Structure 1
C-alpha cells in the first residue's frame, strides 16, 4: 500500500464576516503525488437558514459549484480552472473576505485521496 501525503481545507460559510461565526459546508483535498484535487460539499439548507436568516442559499451553492469547477479544471471555475493543479489549490486555500471562506490548511497521509475526502466531509461538515 502506497502512503501519499495530502493537504486539505474546510470550506466555511461565514454569513456575517464581522461576527466570525461559521458553519462548515465542504472540504477541498489536494494530493500532489496523485495529481488529485477535489471538493466534497453539503449544504444543510434548514440549518444554514436557521443560522443565517435571509442568506441566499442558492448563492452559497453556486459558490461551492465554482469551487468544484476550479478543482475539476472546467468552465465553472473561470480563469482559475485553467491553471496548474497546485495553483488551483493555492487559489482555493487563500484567505478570502466572502461568505465562503477556507479554514486553515491541514495535512494527512492516505492510500486513497477520494475516500479520505469523503471521510473528511462526513466527519467535518454538517
Structure 2
C-alpha cells in the first residue's frame, strides 16, 4: 500500500490573545498527491466560555465554518486557488481569535482516516 506525504495544522481558538490560552477546535489536512484538502471542526462552547465568558460563540462558529467552506468545491473567495494555495492561505500566521498552529507533516495511505485520527487525538481528547 503506497503512502503519500500530507501536511496538517490544528485549528485553535484563542479568545483572549493577550492571555495566550487556547483550545483546539479542529484539524486542517492537505495531501497534494491525492488532491485532498479537508477541515474538520468541533467547538465546545462551554470550554470556550470557561476561558472567556464574554466570547462570541456564534462569531467563532462562523469563522470555523469558513475553514470548512474554503476546503470545498464552493470555496467562496478562494475558488480560483489551488488546494495548496488554499492550505497556505488558511495556515498563514494571524493574530485573530481563530487561527492555526504550526504546520506538521506525515505519511498516509488514506487522508480521510488520518484526518479522523488526528481530530480524535488533538481535538476530542
Residue 104 of structure 1 is matched in structure 2 by 102
Q: More helix by proportion, 1 or 2?
A: 1
Question: Is 1:38 equivalent to 2:66 in the alignment?
Answer: no
Give the TM-score, by structure 2 length.
Answer: 0.94
Indicate whether 1:50 and 2:28 are aligned: no
Q: CA-to-partner distance for each residue in 1:10-51, whole Å, 9 max, x for gaps? A: 011011111111100000000000000000111111111112
User: Match of 2:86, SS?
Assistant: helix
Q: Which residue of 1 is the match for residue 22 of structure 2?
A: 22
Please give the TM-score of this superposition, normalised by the length of structure 1. Answer: 0.93
Distance 1:81 1:64, change over 3 A: farther
Shift of 1:2: 1.2
Partner of 2:43, secondary structure, is coil
Distance in 2 of aligned mates of 1:40 and 1:22? 17
Q: From the superposition, tell whether residues 67 and 90 of structure 1 become closer, same or farther in structure 2 (CA, over 3 Å).
A: same
Q: Tell me how far 1:97 sits from its aligned partner.
A: 1.2
Task: Provide the rounded CA distance (Å) in 2 between the counterparts of 1:42 and 1:22.
Answer: 14
The runs of 4+ residues in structure 1 deviating greater than 3 Å are none
Unaligned ranges ≥5, structure 2: none
Cα-Cα RMSD: 1.1
Partners in 2 of 1:62 and 1:51 — Cα distance? 19
- Distance in 2, matches of 1:39 and 1:61, equals 13
